[in-house]
């Protein structure tokens, strides 16, 4: 706990704090203080040191830090697994879920093998984003048909609180203007004997402090920093996002009374429709069979299906992807 205590002492001072003073206050050696300072620097904190003056916290880390996260939210301590870099948070959870409890969170700011829908890749490298996956299992498992919609609303709520005006592109993308800022991927496993879901994994990838993207993504992807002109604290955003998810997911629990569940999902659908990307516009939707449908985007219905007004009347689609009619399919970030 030495580095945590030293961090608190540095936060409390606007000036340098001598190594001797830190050692005296904590009852440790100067060498122990030095090792703790180095450990804080490895966590991403910028600490200035000057001979005969001591140490000064230059600024709080903008990188993900288990220390910072658990100081902001002590209740995360037993749920959080933080990786500085990882192939895919969803894949890691799928491979290790047998030994993990409900609501375990795997988090990183750098994925080398991020995944999206239909086996696509998801650009999530560089240590500039929030890429997390949450494991859900047990009696309070969220409804598989609404978990992605609820996650999109959670991200939208987070961004609105930060001053943005997001929209949600059914079913798993969040946009700022015409550019994608977040992708969502939900996966799970069905128990064949019972026909019940064994577990669900909710993956969320949010572009935060990226200053640029690969050329093939420049026209479709954006970040909070690019949209606002300033960087964000990944730790504060992460805690806020998890808090919203923890509040929202019990509202779509399969264990709820059916009447309460329907009331909650009706509210979710209403909120989703108010933020639906391209609502009222002419769009073209493609399905898994590469069949294309065009029509005016009406919204989603009580089952979460997309509703288009076509030349032959309104049609409901349980899956697919849409784009504004007359535009080419985008190269996919997710």
Q: Which of 101-110, 187-196, 251-260 has the lowest mean pLDDT?
A: 187-196
Domain map of the chain by residue range? 2-59, 66-274, 282-324
333 confidence band (pLDDT: 50, 70, 90): very low
For 153-160, which contacts have Cβ atoms below 8 Å and span 24 or more sequence positions?
Answer: 153/248, 153/268, 153/271, 153/272, 153/275, 154/241, 154/244, 154/245, 154/248, 155/182, 155/184, 155/204, 155/206, 155/241, 156/275, 157/244, 158/237, 158/240, 158/241, 158/244, 159/224
Instruction: Over range 308-315, report the average pLDDT.
Output: 94
Query: Which range, of 204-213, 248-257, 266-275, averages the lowest pLDDT?
Result: 204-213
188 sits in which H/E element: strand 179-190
Residue 224 pLDDT exceeds 80 = yes
Give pLDDT tens digits for 69-82.
Answer: 998 999 999 999 99
2-59 has which CATH code? 1.10.10.10
Domain covering 282-324 in this structure, CATH number: 2.30.30.100
DSSP state of 229: S
The pLDDT of residue 62 is: 65
State pTM to two decimals: 0.83
d(CA 280, CA 315): 15
Candidate CATH numbers 2.70.170.10, 1.10.3720.10, 3.40.50.20, 3.30.930.10; the one for domain 66-274: 3.30.930.10
Residue 332 has pLDDT above 50, yes or no: no
pLDDT band of residue 1 (cuts 50, 70, 90) is low
User: What is d(CA 118, CA 127) in angstroms, rounded to the nearest whole number?
Assistant: 25
Q: Which of 162, 148, 153 has the alpha carbon at shortest distance from 223? A: 162
pLDDT score for 59: 63
Where is average pLDDT lowest: 22-36, 70-84, 169-183, 305-319?
Answer: 22-36
Q: Which of 39-43, 89-93, 266-270, 301-305 has the lowest mean pLDDT?
A: 39-43
The rounded mean pLDDT for the chain is 88
- pLDDT (0 to 100) of residue 243: 98
Asked whether the domain spanning 282-324 has the same topology as the one spanning 2-59, the reply is no
């Amino acid at each position: 706990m030495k580095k945590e205590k030293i961090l608190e002492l540095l936060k409390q001072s606007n000036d340098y704090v001598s190594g001797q003073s830190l050692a005296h206050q904590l009852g440790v050696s100067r060498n122990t203080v030095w090792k703790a300072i180095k450990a804080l620097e490895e966590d991403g904190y910028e600490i200035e040191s000057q001979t005969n003056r001591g140490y000064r916290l230059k600024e709080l880390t903008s990188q993900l830090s288990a220390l910072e996260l658990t100081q902001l939210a002590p209740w995360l301590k037993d749920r959080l697994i933080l990786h500085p870099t990882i192939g895919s948070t969803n894949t890691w959870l799928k491979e290790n879920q047998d030994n993990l409890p409900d609501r375990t969170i795997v988090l990183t700011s750098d994925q080398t093998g991020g995944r999206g829908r239909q086996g696509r890749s998801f650009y999530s490298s560089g240590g500039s984003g929030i890429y997390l996956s949450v494991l859900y299992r047990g009696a309070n498992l969220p409804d598989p048909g609404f978990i992605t919609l609820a996650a999109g609303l959670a991200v939208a709520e987070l961004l609105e609180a930060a001053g943005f005006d997001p929209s949600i592109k059914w079913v798993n993308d969040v946009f700022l203007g015409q550019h994608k800022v977040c992708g969502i991927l939900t996966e799970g496993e069905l128990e064949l004997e019972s026909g019940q879901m064994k577990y669900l994994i909710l993956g969320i990838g949010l572009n935060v402090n990226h200053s640029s993207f690969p050329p093939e993504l420049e026209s479709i992807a954006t970040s909070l920093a690019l949209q606002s002109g300033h960087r964000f604290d990944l730790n504060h955003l992460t805690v806020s996002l998890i808090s919203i998810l923890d509040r929202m997911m019990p509202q779509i629990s399969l264990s709820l009374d059916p009447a309460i569940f329907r009331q909650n999902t009706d509210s979710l659908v209403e909120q989703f429709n108010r933020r639906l990307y391209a609502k009222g516009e002419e769009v073209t939707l493609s399905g898994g069979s590469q069949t294309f449908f065009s029509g005016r985007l009406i919204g989603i219905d009580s089952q979460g299906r997309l509703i288009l007004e076509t030349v032959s009347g309104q049609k409901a689609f349980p899956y697919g992807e849409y784009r504004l009619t007359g535009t080419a399919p985008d190269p996919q970030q997710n």
